[in-house]
Amino acid sequence: MSYFNWTSANEMGHPEIDEQHKRLFMLGDAVLESLTRLHEKRVAVAKINAFIAFAQEHFRYEEGLMKSAGYPGLDQHSKFHDSLLSDLRVHCDKVEWDPNVNPADLTNYLCDWLKLHIDLEERDLVAWLKSH
């Protein structure tokens, strides 16, 4: 079963950013799938950590682009990236250590995350990069 289906509607027209978002969708899918089998906690934690690692790489890439292009929203966007990463680490700790963890919390968070981050926060950024 697939949770995040990548379609052309998700593309913003920056090939590298689109490729990285597509990969985040795939890694997010693997996280959600692993959360349906929480008895294998180690697998879920590994999938979440893989998602976090690539999200970090992706954020560094975007921040580098914003810096070199002098993007005026750099600080705000970077803070947003930082808060996403710290939220994800909290969720990961809960999955690992909280015996009463509700996997739906992370599922919902990740669904919002991928939709909000990509649709709301990034269209402006890509439009700006293209015009500068």
Cα atoms found within 13 Å of the Cα of residue 93, Cβ hemisphere only = 6
- Residue 70 has a CB neighbour count (10 Å cut-off) of 9
Please enumerate in sequence order all residues whose Cβ is within 8 A of that of 75, keeping only pairs 6 or more positions apart, or say none. none
Q: Closest approach of Cβ 107 to Fe ion, in Å?
A: 20
With CA atoms as reference, report the closest residue to 48 among 109, 95, 108.
Answer: 95
Q: Closest approach of Cβ 9 to Fe ion, in Å?
A: 16
Choose between 37 and 60: whose C-beta lies nearer to Fe ion. 60
Tell which positions 56-75 bind Fe ion, by CB under 5 A.
62
**29 in contact with Fe ion (CB under 5 A):** no
**Tokens, residue 63:** 């921040």
Kindly report the length of the chain.
132
Q: Closest approach of Cβ 77 to Fe ion, in Å?
A: 6
Q: Kindly state the number of chain residues that form the binding site for Fe ion, as judged by CB under 5 A.
A: 1
Q: Residue with the closest Cβ to Fe ion?
A: 62
Amino acid at 7: T
Choose between 14 and 47: whose C-beta lies nearer to Fe ion. 14
Q: Residue 36, SS3?
A: coil
Choose between 21 and 47: whose C-beta lies nearer to Fe ion. 21
Cα atoms found within 13 Å of the Cα of residue 66, Cβ hemisphere only = 20
Choose between 61 and 97: whose C-beta lies nearer to Fe ion. 61
Q: Closest approach of Cβ 21 to Fe ion, in Å?
A: 6
Interface ranges with Fe ion (CB under 5 A): 62
